[in-house]
Amino acid sequence: MEMQEVIERYQPDLEAVEALLEQQVRSENPQLTEVNESLLRAGGKRIRPLFALMCSRVGSGRPDWLHVLAGAVELIHMATLVHDDVVDDAATRRGKPTVRAQYGNRAAMYAGDFLFGRAIRMLSDIPNRDIHLELSGAIVRMCEGEIEQIQDLFNWRQSLRRYLRRVERKTALLFSVSCSLGAAASRADPQLVRVLRRFGYFTGMAFQITDDVLDFVADEQTVGKPVGGDLRQGNLTLPALHASTEPAVGDELRQRIHPNMSRNDVETSIELVRASSGLPFAKQLARQYMDKAMVQLHRLPAGPLQEDLATVARFVNQRMY
Amino acid sequence: MEMQEVIERYQPDLEAVEALLEQQVRSENPQLTEVNESLLRAGGKRIRPLFALMCSRVGSGRPDWLHVLAGAVELIHMATLVHDDVVDDAATRRGKPTVRAQYGNRAAMYAGDFLFGRAIRMLSDIPNRDIHLELSGAIVRMCEGEIEQIQDLFNWRQSLRRYLRRVERKTALLFSVSCSLGAAASRADPQLVRVLRRFGYFTGMAFQITDDVLDFVADEQTVGKPVGGDLRQGNLTLPALHASTEPAVGDELRQRIHPNMSRNDVETSIELVRASSGLPFAKQLARQYMDKAMVQLHRLPAGPLQEDLATVARFVNQRMY
């Protein structure tokens, strides 16, 4: 089963979601529309809407607000991306200039707020309090995760557990919510909703840890941003944190990576992490989360949905662009 | 009728809203809770919740989510304040250090996002689609207004109309929505809802124009931020825009106020505006909006509500702290 086949199966739904997104990002303000349309065109894989659409096949219902739900999840994701770029001082994302780099921090912040506003607008069309609660809860916890990330910048004494909690909030939560809300929208059995929530959660954990690995190994041309970007910002992810447990490497990393580090410190440290046990360790952990996701899938009725979800999960976690 | 008497009349409701706000700003993250609690304590006059509570007396209903509505409006206001301070590089607000100045831009941005998330959380408890639509629409348009403000920085060629549209989006909209949603929540006659929406709108216009005047005349100690802050940021408000229509003053202002202006340019320009016809003109316009607000009140049934609203509207527009 290939990813392309799965996408084709969901093509009409995905196109409907895309049309909704195009409609929602339009503003009376031409510059804002331009910013948002370039964000939309920048691509992104629409994994979250796809998961919502797929999981909605597990039940028998199909509410007329299914596309709205899938679109709202993507808008929330887009809003957080724009704000992350403000915070990260990122100049490129997916190989293209960020909103911040093109239009400045101020416009980027309000573009993000605008997208939040539009997401709330979309939620108005979903007459289901539980869905509102789950999505607003996810936004709140995602923000808490971002603030924790800021607090943990350059903090070499953070625990693995604290790193994993950040990964959960940063990525796993919205994956998880996309899956469970898609399932709930189809009035699936609550047991199946829970299974898919866990599937999304584990897939999201694997996705983000893989992202943190890619940040060290992928080159700028293929991943669309400079190598070692996390370390450059003091964002200590699993490869670096695990590398720092190797006695020799750890001392050097802690000496080099601090708020006043030099460019040379960063370049040397990136090489240190790349040569350490940090990358294989992180890849191994991502694989374990992937395995846990697959265990959940085995609890679904056998059929095409089970296979499709496995295909997409494998795809998002084997990104070696 | 004194403002204090009105506040006392609504004291139990205001306290309930305050308790809700205190509950909503709490986070699992202690620093975030601290940031948010200091924002709450910084005061603010809770004018928007007060208007919502007051206008809810115009109908006969009193939904159990009335306090939630009043609180959500204030949270949205707080979120935009935090984000404005990020954008403005503001060091103080209401005489106290801003979130940005205390904790940095990054934390301030996510603190604002967190508050938006909590506001959405509160909306989940309001089973009324129209209210969701009106509030999300207000957020969207407020963001558009902020982006317009950024686009119009240092733009001496902007029209009065464009300035007024910014004022509308920045302030009048949320005032207007607070009033109309309070009224709608009480299942008031749609005609009365419209009257109160316009009352809130005109009061908000007067409020913001007065704010723009105060920025030039109030001193730092009483208003809690440096004099001429708008001009320092290139934010051209009515007093400056009108001053620039005086031939002699206009040329000098346009020469001095530009992105690369000096401190001396700003100080001189503030004095130019203070001595010009800009301030009396803006005050006059604020008064005209106030009069329009009062005309709306005359369309309400005579009684204590009419008087109370007039008192609060006069209070917020005669702030000469």
Summarised one tens digit per residue, pLDDT across range A88-108 is: 666 666 666 666 666 677 788
Question: How many contacts, defined by CB atoms under 8 Å, are there between A and B?
Answer: 136
Set out the domains of chain B in order of their start, with CATH numbers. 3-317 (1.10.600.10)
Interface test with B, best of A31, A106, A126, A181 (most B CBs within 10 A): A106
Residue-wise pLDDT tens digits, B282-310: 999 999 999 999 999 999 999 999 999 99
Q: Tens digit of pLDDT per residue, chain B (321 long)?
A: 688 999 999 999 999 999 999 999 999 989 889 888 888 888 788 999 999 999 999 999 999 999 999 999 999 999 998 888 776 666 666 666 666 666 777 788 888 999 988 998 898 899 898 999 999 899 999 989 888 888 899 999 999 999 999 999 999 999 999 999 999 999 999 999 999 999 999 999 999 999 999 999 877 666 666 788 899 989 999 999 999 999 989 999 999 999 889 999 999 999 999 999 999 999 999 999 999 999 999 999 999 999 999 999 998 887 643
Distance from CA of B255 to the nearest CA of A (A): 25
pLDDT of residue B86: 73
Distance from CA of B247 to the nearest CA of A (A): 32
Residue-wise pLDDT tens digits, A289-310: 999 999 999 999 999 999 999 9
Whole-number CA gyration radius for chain B: 20
Distance from CA of B62 to the nearest CA of A (A): 21
Identify which of A104, A107, A147 has the shortest CB distance to residue B107: A147
pLDDT of residue B91: 64
For residue B79, what is the nearest residue in chain A, using CA coordinates? A113
For residue A130, what is the nearest residue in chain B, using CA coordinates? B124
For A234, left (φ over 0), alpha (ψ -120 to 50), or beta? left
Pairing of strands B96-97, B92-93: antiparallel
Which phi and psi (to 5°) does residue A19 adopt? -65, -40
Please return the burial class of A59, using the count of CB atoms within 10 Å of its CB with bins 0-12, 13-18 and 19+: middle
For residue A119, what is the nearest residue in chain B, using CA coordinates? B136
Identify which of B117, B139, B151 has the shortest CB distance to residue A143: B117
Residue-wise pLDDT tens digits, A3-59: 899 999 999 999 999 999 999 999 998 988 988 888 888 878 899 999 999 999 999
pLDDT of residue A271: 95
Q: What is the mean pLDDT of residues A207-236?
A: 85
pLDDT of residue A102: 65
Distance from CA of A240 to the nearest CA of B (A): 23
Report H helices in A89-236. 99-103, 105-123, 129-151, 160-167, 173-185, 190-217, 220-223, 229-232
pLDDT of residue B272: 96
Residue A136 to residue B121, Cβ atoms within 8 A? yes
Which phi and psi (to 5°) does residue A92 adopt? -140, 150
Least confident of A65-79, A227-241, B104-118: B104-118
ipTM computed for the complex: 0.83
- Name every chain B residue with its beta carbon within 8 A of the beta carbon of A142: 117
Residue A29 to residue B147, Cβ atoms within 8 A? yes
